[in-house]
Structure 1
């Protein structure tokens, strides 16, 4: 599944229209529609679109991919509390959980 497919699926899961996301991001509906249709966005445009669907674009080291994938696929029963940072320490950023 491509990153743009994931963006579309996330929008649909949130029950947002393309216009909704465009309004949240300051894009026109046509700009956002082209993005989902397979555009080749700049990184800042992709980051903006991800923000519009309450998501983040992240570079994940290959050696950590399986751990991240398992976390994302984990059932709701064992998911951390909403106020917890599920990414803390996962990518080796023990200090603040945000790698910054």
Structure 2
């Protein structure tokens, strides 16, 4: 799974026509540090977030039931994205539990 993520970093960088040195300059990393990130080192979460910022991107968790819809959306396919407007976290805590914002409204 990590290699797939690191491949996405490389592809995004190439899409933006950036070199690894450009990424180092944008993120404050040294070129070798960014190079290791793309080559499958063991990056820390803050390094992944910093590199994502340098690529004008964000890291996020996607609920598995929304994964295919998100992939379709990224590919420009619209027929599979219909369920993305629904709240993916609805009912995550169970039927009897309300989220913090609902409790604060009372």
Pick the TM interval, shorter chain.
Answer: 0.7 to 0.9
Please tell me the root mean square deviation across aligned C-alpha atoms, in Å: 1.9
Structure 1 segments (4+ residues) deviating >2 Å = none
Aligned 8 A contact 1:47 1:56 in 2: yes
Q: Tell me, which stretches of 5 or more residues in structure 1 are unaligned?
A: 79-88, 94-100
Equivalences for residues 57-76 of structure 1 within 5 A = 57-74=59-76
Q: Tell me, which stretches of 5 or more residues in structure 2 are unaligned?
A: 79-83, 89-106
Task: Pick from 45, 50, 53 the counterpart of residue 51 of structure 1.
Answer: 53
C-alpha distance in structure 1 between counterparts of 2:44 and 2:71, whole Å: 25
**Higher helix proportion (structure 1 or 2):** 2
Task: Pick from 50, 67, 87 the counterpart of residue 92 of structure 1.
Answer: 87
Bigger Rg over Cα: 2
Q: Deviations over 1:32-67 (max 9, x none)?
A: 011111111111110110111111111100001011
- TM-score normalised over the length of structure 1: 0.74
